[in-house]
Chain A
Amino acid sequence: MKMTKRIWIHSVVGAATAAALTSVAWAQGAPVKIGVLATLEGPFAAGGADGMRGAELAIRQRGGVVAGRKIEMVRASSNANPDVAVNAVRKLVEQDKVDLVVGPLSGGEGIAVKDYSKTQPNMTFINGGSGAQATTLQNPSPNFFRFNTEGAQWMVGLGKAAVDKGYKRVMVIAEDYAFPYSQVQGFMSEFCRLGGKVPVKAWVPLGGKDYSSVIARIPKDVDALLVVLGGADAVNFLNQYEAAGGDKPMMGGSITVSQDVLNYRGKRRDSLVGTISAGPYADSFDGADWKAFVADYQKNYPVSAGGYPSPSLFALVYYTNMKAALDALEQVKGDLSGGQAKYREALSKLELKMPTGTVKLDSNRQAIGTTFVTEVVKDSKGDLTTRVLRKVDNVDQMLGMKREEFQMGSRDVPACP
């Protein structure tokens, strides 16, 4: 009797201790470590820095605490090369022992991180800014979530706006890699269906600076140019085009008229006024949530401290994904146990309220969201900003087409010369 009682007491005490020890992991107070990966070096360094600011903003808005747990942000850097990104994520997961990962920024990195995520089934990976179609369309991973819409989705509505403006023949000038392919596909699938023609597509090498040859090839009979270049390339192109006496109206891709290009320190940006474009946001969108977001960004990251006058695309997408991560964490009350299964279910069902509207996930864990068709205007302070022409809701990854009709963008697809 005594023996059994002793054994019984021992086992109860033992069980209680065990329970206490395991529950310490997710009990109140234990910090949650979130790894954030962005490109802090290389061609997208400026965008990566703003992405970090966006992610940090989402954390600051919650006062640094979620579901009673303190948030610890662990930063990692890459340079748009997939192998560097995978090394950085592996370090976050295996060495720094983070609880979830938010990132990466660039399209090629996204695909590599998605492949890595399949080897870590108990870790949740949420996208940062990468916008390649293939990440969620081809071999999607059950623990990789993307709460931002991707490159092709960002261009929905621009085709119709172009036709409305009277552009019947458009030349495409874009960088030669996956993200511009998806942007061009998003534009052309609508534009071609409405009767538009794209006689020439000029794919320029990434990072090339000299557009004089491309400009010389612009045919006389096109009505407008669709320019899908990012960062420094867009700046050079605009500069050289005007200097060469060019006068055709331009349409911009989503990263062409992003803040870090509209901010470039030179006076030639005046030639950008009137350009139509499409993307996941517009600087002067009237929504209350958007205005609150912009004000919050400007308060936390004034220009003097290195922030932009208005949050860039990268800040917005990182903010969106981090907010989703935190909202779902709040929903499960910080419970990341059981291989994070409950958490992932909460993420899949999450209806995220973000500054530009509501975002839901489809069956591939890809966001269904809102796209804005915009036009560049000059505001009262003389800064360049965008205004909304049209808002398209519930844009999904199939771009409204049937699965059989849909083809992923590449250099030659789609084509309507």
Chain B
Amino acid sequence: MSAAQWRRAMNGGLRHAAGSSGQPPVRVQASAVASGAAAVDPYADSDAPRWLKFLWRTLSARHVLTFGLALVFPFVATPFFTFQVAAQALVLGLIALSLTFLGGYGGIVSLAQMSVAGMAGYALAILGASSTPISLDWPWWLAVIFAVLIATVCATVIGWLSVRTEGIYTIMITLAFGVAFYYLALQNYTLFNGFQGFQKVYPPHVLGVNWRDPLPFYFLSLFWAMAGYFAVKWIVRTPFGVALQGVRDNPRRMAALGFNVVAHRVAAYAVAGFMAAIGGVLMVWYNGLITPGSVNTGWQINILVIAVLGGMRHPIGAFLGAIIFVLLQTFAIDLIDRERFNLVIGVVFLAIVLFSPDGLLGLWAKLRRRFGSDPSVTSPSHRQ
């Protein structure tokens, strides 16, 4: 069904209902429409181009404020904070965003996102330049493009194999994929260089700038993080995105309506894989190396922790969770006995999951409901 047909069907129903009884438009059919979609469009009469209207609709004061802060931040913070805390949080947030998209809007909790990111990282290391003889030394732009492509294809394959599973089974099969990839990278020496991995995988010097310096790298990650964020926000309002949320809520009904449930899910995996792949390229550039340890079970679970910490209802949750995670990881060792910081991370995660299943965003929403309401584009919590 094309976008135009869908819109006609939706609006046709509204017109009929409004025409016949003069009542406000009836909520149409099965798909869980985002709460703001049925509202009146305040810019409907304006002459401005579509994308500008989109920005006016989505951006508000807090968006501008956050963006401003993000721009100014590296100039007031130390290079350490810019690089190791902020840039790392943005990169991890991007990878967790792919999980938030899959889980929050697609109803699929996949533990393989970090592995997809790792696949992109390994592909980049193998195709590009590193200090290991295996690397093919392709020009950086070619290596990046192919790395992202390869990882996205792998993510689609993972999706295709996992698509018929649900709930806990999906978690397990994606976990299995992740662990299998870890052991493959660990044991294979001809392609993956085993335990040693690839060292000295650095971003290129382009336009006279060394992109691994704290400031340029921070802006690079900020750019891609924002791209991911807006991409997710845009996708969930497209017909595909809305149908995906429908598939999440009630796959049987969607199938009865004529939507191809399997195709939607596999496409969701592919989109999430693409985001994770970009995150993976950035991650390998951040670390300057990639080893099997970057894609082990611990990291797969960490990405899940990050996504859940922030809350899967809204894309910003991934970045919130990433910031907290990176702060905890970097500074817990100073506050708590150096050997016990795993305990701290575990307890914080446990507390949040026990008392606020929607993570920090859920806590925030609860507080706001107490002190006044302000609906925004969130993914409505789905039936369990």
A95 contacts the other chain (CB 8 A): yes
What is the distance, in angstroms, from A111's C-beta to the closest C-beta of chain B?
6
Q: Is A115 a contact partner of B200 (Cβ separation < 8 A)?
A: yes
> Which residues from chain A contact B200 at a C-beta distance below 8 Å?
115
A287 within 8 A of B: no
On whether A108 and B339 interact (CB within 8 A), knowing A90-B84, A94-B80, A205-B186, the answer reads: no
Residues of A within 8 A of B342 (CB): 41
Pairwise interchain contact A206-B195, C-beta atoms closer than 8 A? yes
Residue B250 is within 8 A (CB to CB) of chain A in the complex = no
- Determine the distance from Cα of A318 to Cα of B187 in the docked complex, in whole angstroms: 30
- A139 with B289, Cβ < 8 A, contacts A115-B199, A205-B186 known: no
Chain B residues lying within 8 Å of A90, measured Cβ to Cβ, are 80, 83-84
Known: A94-B79, A177-B195. A75 touches B338 (CB 8 A): yes
Chain B contact residue count (CB 8 A cutoff): 31
Please tell me which one of the listed residues B78, B79, B186 contacts residue A206 in the complex, with CB atoms under 8 A apart.
Answer: B186
Q: Which residues of A contact B186 (CB under 8 A)?
A: 205-206
Q: Which of A80-88, A189-197, A222-230, A293-301 contacts B (4 or more CB under 8 A)?
A: A80-88
Considering only CB atoms, which chain A residue lies closest to B88 in the complex? A87
Quick one: which of A269-298 are within 8 Å of B by CB? Answer: none
B356 within 8 A of A: no
Partner of B84, one of A80, A94, A108, A205: A94
Bound-state Cα–Cα, A41 to B333, Å: 12
**Contact partner of A139 among B79, B88, B131, B339, CB < 8 A?**
B131
Nearest CB in chain B to that of A88: its residue:
B333
Tell which of A79, A91, A115, A178 touches B289, judged by Cβ atoms closer than 8 Å: A115
- Min distance, Cβ A104 to any Cβ of chain B, angstroms: 13
Cβ contacts under 8 Å, B170 to chain A: none
A302–B199 Cα distance when bound, in Å, is 41
| B320-340 contacts to A (CB < 8 Å) | 330, 333, 338-339
With known contacts A91-B80, A139-B131, A177-B196, A81–B338 Cβ distance under 8 A: no
A85 CB to closest chain B CB, in angstroms? 10
Asked whether A76 is an interface residue with its Cβ less than 8 Å from the other chain, the reply is yes
With A94-B80, A176-B187, A411-B189 as known contacts, state yes or no: A83 contacts B196, CB within 8 Å: no
Q: Does B291 contact A (CB under 8 A)?
A: yes
Chain A residues positioned under 8 Å from B79 (CB to CB): 94
Chain B residues in 8 Å Cβ range of A112: 199, 288-289
Is B241's CB within 8 Å of the partner chain A?
no
Residue of A nearest to B291 (CB): A82
Interface size of A as a range: 20 to 34
Does A40 lie at the interface of the complex (its beta carbon under 8 Å from any beta carbon of B)?
yes
CB closest chain-A residue, reference B81? A95
Contact of A86 among B189, B289, B296, B333 (CB under 8 A): B289
Give the nearest-CB partner of A412 in chain B: B189
Closest to A87 in B: B84
Q: Report if B178 contacts A (CB, 8 A).
A: no
User: In this assembly, does A397 line the interface, its C-beta being within 8 Å of a C-beta of chain B?
Assistant: no
Q: Which residues of B contact A116 (CB under 8 A)?
A: 288
A77 to B330, CA, bound (A): 10
- Say if the beta carbon of B197 comes within 8 Å of chain A: yes
> Given A83-B291, A112-B289, are A176 and B194 also a contact pair (CB < 8 Å)?
yes
Within 280-307 of B, Cβ neighbours of A (below 8 Å) are at 287-289, 291, 293-294, 296
The complex places the Cα of A237 from the Cα of B199 at a distance, in Å, of 32
Considering the chains assembled together, what is the distance between the CA atoms of A4 and B194 in angstroms? 71
Secondary structure of the B contact surface, majority rule = helix
One of B80, B189, B289 near A82 (C-beta < 8 A): B289
Residues of B within 8 A of A77 (CB): 333, 338-339, 341
In this complex, which of B83, B197, B341 has the most chain A Cβ atoms within 10 angstroms of its Cβ? Answer: B197
Instruction: Mark contacts of A90-129 with chain B using CB atoms, 8 A cut-off: 1 yes-contact digit, 0 otherwise.
Output: 1100110000000000001001100110000000000000
Q: Known interface pairs A87-B84, A91-B84, A206-B186. Does A176 touch B291 (Cβ–Cβ under 8 Å)? A: no
Interface centre among B78, B84, B183, B341 (most CB of A within 10 A): B84
Q: How far apart sit A148 and B131, CA to CA, in the bound complex (Å)?
A: 25
- Other-chain residue from B187, B189, B293 in contact with A83 (beta carbon distance below 8 A): B293
Residues in B neighbouring A205, C-beta threshold 8 A: 183, 186-187
A208 vs chain B, min Cβ distance (A): 10
> In the complex, how many angstroms separate the beta carbon of B245 from the nearest chain A beta carbon?
36
Chain A residues, CB < 8 A from B339: 40-41, 49, 77
Q: Are B338 and A82 in contact (CB under 8 A)?
A: no
> Which residues of the other chain, B, contact A75 by a CB distance below 8 angstroms?
333, 338
- Closest chain-B Cβ to A152's Cβ sits at a distance in Å of 16
Known: A90-B84, A91-B80. A178 touches B338 (CB 8 A): no
Chain A residues whose CB sits within 8 angstroms of the CB of B289 once the complex forms:
82-83, 86, 112, 115
Partner of B291 from the list A40, A81, A91, A206 (CB cut-off 8 Å) is A81
Expressed in whole angstroms, the minimum distance between the Cβ of A131 and any Cβ of chain B is 14
Q: Mark B175-211, 1 if CB is under 8 A from A, else 0.
A: 0000000010011010000111101100000000000
Knowing A91-B330, A176-B187, A177-B194 are in contact, say whether A84-B80 is a contact too (CB < 8 A). no
Complex contacts, A79 vs chain B, CB 8 Å: 293
**Residues of the B chain whose Cβ atoms lie less than 8 Å from the Cβ of A49:** 339
> Knowing A77-B333, A90-B84 touch, does A176 contact B195 (C-beta < 8 A)?
yes
A90–B342 Cα distance when bound, in Å, is 20
A205 to B287, CA, bound (A): 25
* A411 cross-chain contacts in B, Cβ below 8 A: 189
Q: Tell me the complex Cα distance, A91–B80, Å.
A: 7
Contact pick for B196, options A81, A95, A139, A178, CB 8 Å: A178
Q: Does A82 contact B197, Cβ atoms closer than 8 Å?
A: yes
A-chain residues with CB within 8 Å of residue B81 when the two chains form the complex: 95
By the criterion CB–CB under 8 Å, are B195 and A178 in contact? yes
Tell me how far the C-beta of A119 lies from the nearest C-beta in chain B, rounded to whole angstroms. Answer: 9
**Which residues, 187 to 245 on A, are CB-close (under 8 Å) to B?**
205-206
- Contact residues in A for B330 (Cβ distance below 8 Å): 87, 91, 95
Report the bound CA distance from A86 to B338 in whole Å: 17
Q: Which of A108, A138, A139, A411 has the most CB of B within 10 A?
A: A108
Other A-B pairs, 9, CB within 8 Å; known A40-B339, A77-B341, A81-B296: A77-B339, A82-B199, A83-B293, A86-B288, A87-B330, A91-B80, A91-B330, A177-B194, A206-B195
Instruction: List 6 A-B pairs, minimum CB-CB distance, nearest first.
Output: A81-B293, A94-B80, A177-B195, A83-B287, A95-B80, A40-B339
> What is B's interface to A at a CB cutoff of 8 Å?
78-81, 83-84, 88, 131, 183, 186-187, 189, 194-197, 199-200, 287-289, 291, 293-294, 296, 330, 333, 338-339, 341-342
What are 6 A-B contacts with C-beta separation under 8 Å?
A81-B293, A81-B296, A83-B289, A90-B80, A115-B288, A115-B289
Interface set of A (CB-CB < 8 Å, partner B): 40-41, 49, 75-77, 79-84, 86-87, 90-91, 94-95, 108, 111-112, 115-116, 138-139, 176-178, 205-206, 411
